[in-house]
Amino acid sequence: MSQQGSAGNVIAAIASLFFPGLGQLLQGRILAALMFFLVTVVGYALWWLIVPAVIGAIFHLWSIIDAARFTPDSAHNL
Protein backbone atom coordinates (compact mmCIF):
# COMPACT_ATOMS: atom_id res chain seq x y z
CA MET A 1 0.00 0.00 0.00
CA SER A 2 2.35 2.62 -1.25
CA GLN A 3 0.14 5.65 -1.68
CA GLN A 4 -3.22 7.12 -0.80
CA GLY A 5 -5.92 5.89 -3.15
CA SER A 6 -4.17 2.61 -3.84
CA ALA A 7 -6.20 -0.56 -4.22
CA GLY A 8 -5.07 -1.68 -0.77
CA ASN A 9 -6.50 1.46 0.81
CA VAL A 10 -9.79 1.00 -1.02
CA ILE A 11 -10.03 -2.58 0.26
CA ALA A 12 -9.14 -1.39 3.77
CA ALA A 13 -11.83 1.30 3.64
CA ILE A 14 -14.45 -1.21 2.47
CA ALA A 15 -13.39 -3.61 5.23
CA SER A 16 -13.79 -0.83 7.81
CA LEU A 17 -17.24 -0.08 6.41
CA PHE A 18 -18.43 -3.54 7.40
CA PHE A 19 -16.32 -4.02 10.54
CA PRO A 20 -14.84 -0.95 12.27
CA GLY A 21 -11.06 -1.22 12.59
CA LEU A 22 -10.67 -4.11 10.15
CA GLY A 23 -9.13 -1.83 7.53
CA GLN A 24 -6.50 -0.64 9.99
CA LEU A 25 -5.82 -4.26 10.94
CA LEU A 26 -5.30 -5.14 7.27
CA GLN A 27 -2.80 -2.29 7.09
CA GLY A 28 -0.92 -3.68 10.09
CA ARG A 29 -1.95 -0.94 12.53
CA ILE A 30 -3.10 -3.02 15.48
CA LEU A 31 -3.50 -0.25 18.09
CA ALA A 32 -5.54 1.93 15.73
CA ALA A 33 -7.69 -1.08 14.84
CA LEU A 34 -8.38 -1.84 18.50
CA MET A 35 -9.19 1.78 19.30
CA PHE A 36 -11.62 2.17 16.40
CA PHE A 37 -13.26 -1.18 17.13
CA LEU A 38 -13.69 -0.65 20.86
CA VAL A 39 -15.00 2.92 20.70
CA THR A 40 -17.39 2.13 17.85
CA VAL A 41 -18.77 -1.07 19.38
CA VAL A 42 -19.24 0.47 22.83
CA GLY A 43 -20.92 3.50 21.25
CA TYR A 44 -23.29 1.33 19.23
CA ALA A 45 -23.94 -0.95 22.23
CA LEU A 46 -25.18 2.08 24.18
CA TRP A 47 -27.55 3.12 21.38
CA TRP A 48 -30.34 4.08 23.80
CA LEU A 49 -28.10 6.83 25.20
CA ILE A 50 -28.02 9.14 22.19
CA VAL A 51 -24.53 10.64 22.76
CA PRO A 52 -22.56 7.33 22.83
CA ALA A 53 -24.38 6.17 19.69
CA VAL A 54 -23.43 9.39 17.88
CA ILE A 55 -19.83 9.01 19.06
CA GLY A 56 -19.84 5.41 17.80
CA ALA A 57 -21.14 6.54 14.40
CA ILE A 58 -18.50 9.29 14.19
CA PHE A 59 -15.71 6.83 15.03
CA HIS A 60 -17.06 4.35 12.49
CA LEU A 61 -16.96 7.02 9.78
CA TRP A 62 -13.50 8.13 10.97
CA SER A 63 -12.32 4.51 10.74
CA ILE A 64 -13.39 4.31 7.10
CA ILE A 65 -11.78 7.63 6.17
CA ASP A 66 -8.59 6.82 8.09
CA ALA A 67 -8.19 3.49 6.27
CA ALA A 68 -8.73 5.16 2.90
CA ARG A 69 -6.25 8.00 3.52
CA PHE A 70 -3.43 5.99 5.16
CA THR A 71 0.07 6.32 3.77
CA PRO A 72 3.04 4.46 5.28
CA ASP A 73 4.93 7.70 5.91
CA SER A 74 1.99 8.93 8.03
CA ALA A 75 2.32 5.89 10.29
CA HIS A 76 2.86 8.06 13.36
CA ASN A 77 -0.82 9.07 13.12
CA LEU A 78 -3.66 6.82 14.25
For 38-61, what is each residue's pLDDT tens digit? 999 999 999 888 888 999 999 999
Is the pLDDT at 74 greater than 80, yes or no?
no
| Mean pLDDT, rounded, of the chain | 86
Which of 53, 77, 25, 39 shows the shortest CA–CA distance to 13? Answer: 25
Phi then psi for 31, rounded to 5 degrees?
Answer: -65, -40
pTM, to two decimals = 0.79
